[in-house]
Amino acid sequence: MKNLLLLCTSIVLSTTIYAQPKTTSQLPTVKRDTIVYNTNPVTVIANRQATLNLDVPLAVTIIPQEQLRNNRGYGLDEALSLVPGALVQSRTGNHDVRVLIRGFGARGAGQRSNAGTSRGVRFYIDGIPETEPDGRTAFDLIDISGASSIEVVRSNASTLWGNASGGVINISTVPTEDYAFTRIQNTMGSFGYQKQTIQAYSPIQNGKVFATINNTNFDGWRAHSGSTLFQANAGVQTTISNNTRLGIYLVGASNLFRIPGPLTQSQFDSAATQAQTGSGYDLINRDERRYNRLGRIGTTIEHTINSIHSVSATGFLQSKFLERSERNTFRDFNRYHTGGNVVYRAAFSLSENLHNNFMAGVDEQYQDGAILFYKLTNGQRGDSLRSNKREGANNFGAFAQNEITINNNLSIQLGARYDNISYYNEDYAAGGNRTTKSEDRVYNRVTPKAAINYKVKPGLSIYANLGGGVEVPAGNEVDPANSNGDDKTHLVSTLLNKPITSTTMEVGAKHFILFDNPGFLQSFQYDVAVYSITSQNDLIPYQSGAFYLQAASTSRKGLEASFIAQLPEGISVMASATFSSNTYNNYTLDSLFTKSSFDSNLVGKSASYAGNKLPGVPNMFATVRLRYVPTFFTYMFLEAEMRNVGEYFADDANKVTVASYNIMDVTLGCDYPLFDNLHIRAVARMNNLTDAKYISSAWLNPDLVSGKPAFIEPGLPRNSSIQLGINYIY
């Protein structure tokens, strides 16, 4: 930590070295909170290169920094509330969230090896993968308050990115300002919430340097739900020659959070603040928790060979130390994660009105390490070593895509990708070196894609795409815990031998209108997409993630829409809505797996769920945000946001219903230039203004506690936060 503080201090000092003295007239104009964002932002992840959003034949949402700075800054649920198709639900009010895009990722909720992780969606930080080779993503390194933007690809992106049926999320931490600054911020809130942030940035000769440090503490509002999170992020981007640009990025975190577990309906009704202490869930005495310490160094390089050819490459190395107290066992993980990619691009003209853009590349990720299982004694690691396992995974992908543009308004894309994902699992005798079991798995798949984008006029484009998706069962999902002492574990393990595949058909439109003679509207932009997805071998959790099964076929159909409207007198409206139908086409559950069903009529019998709704996915959710910036004092703003999530089921049998809910938040803020180069910032926020009692997340196909399903993770009651900060401009 001392080294990180020294690094941050050196960056602050460097701003004095490289920044030239400024008179008042030369000081930069700092963008105040306003809804006038970049009307056609540049995407990076969507097409694996810098591309205007209107030119991308995919459903893409970009959240600018202006929308990220006004929250508590703890979880992704705060940042992505206005993204259509994306449902992000906080599990206990801290960093641990459940991320769904078009229903993918729903299974990442449960007790067994699911806390603090996501499935089905790939995550990147500054273009470096945060998702592990098997598809799991932990959120330890993801910092919201220090992000400069978040790019969300809602379309199936497997052809370019591989193991990602639900899309891709890229968090950019590189500041975009053209002036040096230092920001110091402190946030205080309900239930002992405290967050301190320092951020420094400076343009340097031929580049830029930056760093952010966060320290967050949260007592938690439920019993046994406290958390602490320390994050540090630093980087430098520089042009090392006329044709070559280099980036180096350092990031690290220490994250400790405790797990209160799910409640039954009667427990939730009586006291939502309690932790689960029913049969098999003595979470408090076991001190059920996760303690993750990890760091990564990554580098990117871009080289322009000539006017046609260019190449880019990324490499990273990550070390992880993970401790878990789970299910009466203490687990000690020691892992390393490494990888990178190389991408070749060729852009040339075939004629005056015909242009070609070719891209091909390879991705490689490898993770390996040991897991030591100890007896748990009073919530701590005991002396008895129960097991010693090796868990490794390799993810290799090769892709190619060609795009032809006609008359600068019609583009056609064709592409394909090959993925090979391998698992290496070995079980050693406790205290010895002899391998007692070795089980390796290999998943491979070729994924095609075709897309078309047409610019109807400046500011308006329509698109369509047809593509495949691929995802594989995560490492813990193919190695389930044998908690029942029967043949179930072995059978499940042998069944999960197929990748999850999908076919997506999508059409959409993106439009921005800036009115020359504004009346009721000054500007209006919208994004609408309609999709149909058919999936094979969808993965379903049982007994709160004790084991997983693959459904034969599922169907997802939906409509996503969002808009931003700028009205007179400083009033703006932002809204998003998602309407979908998510069902099983064909799925029969074997009688072996109905043993623990809470429907007594199913015990010992097979069950067909064809036509049932997918668990964990609501048919409708929407957000509306109103914003007011007084014309007589433009340094102040007032926001009100309403979120609605419709009801859904927590089980395949559609017997356990998760009730719908409405949540309202209100924010009042001010960013005022106290002096020429010193700005002060104050933001007061009230979340869940009406103090609604609601279910923020649900465990799917849950365990029974006292004969009742334990599936409810209660949402935060009314809570407030106050953010105070200063911004010094050099």
The H or E element spanning position 492 is helix 488-495
**Which DSSP category does 16 fall into?**
H
CA-to-CA distance for 294 and 252, rounded, in angstroms?
Answer: 6
Phi, psi of 115 (to 5 degrees): -60, 135
Q: Measure Cα distances from 536 to 362, 379, 503, 555 in Å.
A: 26, 41, 9, 9
* Residue 468, pLDDT above cutoff 70: yes
Over residues 516-524, the mean pLDDT reads: 86
Write the DSSP string, 101-125.
Answer: ETTBTTT--SSSS-TTEE-SSEEEE
CA-to-CA distance for 724 and 730, rounded, in angstroms?
Answer: 20
Per-residue confidence band for 484, with pLDDT thresholds at 50, 70 and 90: very low
* Residue 480, pLDDT above cutoff 50: yes
Per-residue confidence band for 16, with pLDDT thresholds at 50, 70 and 90: very low
pLDDT tens-place string over residues 390-404: 999 999 999 999 999
CA-to-CA distance for 627 and 590, rounded, in angstroms?
Answer: 52
Per-residue confidence band for 12, with pLDDT thresholds at 50, 70 and 90: very low
* Residue 455, pLDDT above cutoff 80: yes
Work out the mean pLDDT of the chain and round it to a whole number. 88
Q: Which range has the worst mean pLDDT, 225-239, 359-373, 375-389? A: 375-389
What Rg, from alpha-carbon coordinates, does the chain have?
25
| Residue 178: Cβ within 10 Å count | 8
Site of tokens 């931003």: 564
**Which DSSP category does 592 fall into?**
G
Mapping DSSP onto H, E and C, the string for 398-442 reads: EEEEEEEEECCCEEEEEEEEEEEEEEEEEEECCCCCCEEEEEEEE
Domain 2-729 superfamily per CATH = TonB-dependent receptor, beta-barrel domain (2.40.170.20)
The pair of three-digit structure tokens given for residue 500, joined into one six-digit string: 């999850």
Site of tokens 């034949």: 57
Phi, psi of 65 (to 5 degrees): -60, -35
CA-to-CA distance for 685 and 668, rounded, in angstroms?
Answer: 6
Per DSSP, the chain holds a count of helices (H) and strands (E) of 6, 43
Looking at the DSSP bridge assignments, the partners of residue 193 are: 189
Over residues 51-63, the mean pLDDT reads: 94
First to last CA, the chain: 26
CA-to-CA distance for 704 and 598, rounded, in angstroms?
Answer: 7
- Residue 615 and residue 651 in contact, taking contact as beta carbons nearer than 8 Å: yes
Closest to 413 in 3D by CA, of 48, 43, 44, 40 = 48
Q: What is the dihedral of CA 266, 269, 271, 273, to 10 degrees?
A: 100
| Residue 1: Cβ within 10 Å count | 11
Over residues 269-274, the mean pLDDT reads: 96
Q: Which range has the worst mean pLDDT, 291-300, 501-510, 537-546, 552-561? A: 537-546
- Residue 133 and residue 51 in contact, taking contact as beta carbons nearer than 8 Å: no
Helix (H, G, I), strand (E, B) or coil at 28: coil
Per-residue confidence band for 27, with pLDDT thresholds at 50, 70 and 90: very low
Q: Which amino acid is at 511?
A: H
pLDDT score for 145: 83
Q: pTM value?
A: 0.92
* Residue 95, pLDDT above cutoff 80: yes
Over residues 242-266, the mean pLDDT reads: 95
CA-to-CA distance for 612 and 551, rounded, in angstroms?
Answer: 12
Q: Measure Cα distances from 484 to 24, 98, 543, 546, 593 in Å.
A: 73, 27, 11, 10, 11
pLDDT tens-place string over residues 408-443: 999 999 999 999 999 988 888 655 555 555 567 899
Site of tokens 């049982």: 542
Site of tokens 């600068």: 408
Over residues 442-468, the mean pLDDT reads: 95
The pair of three-digit structure tokens given for residue 706, joined into one six-digit string: 């006292």
pLDDT score for 604: 67
Mapping DSSP onto H, E and C, the string for 599-668 reads: CHHHCCCCEECCCCECCCCCCEEEEEEEEECCCCCCCEEEEEEEEEECCEECCCCCCCEECCEEEEEEEE
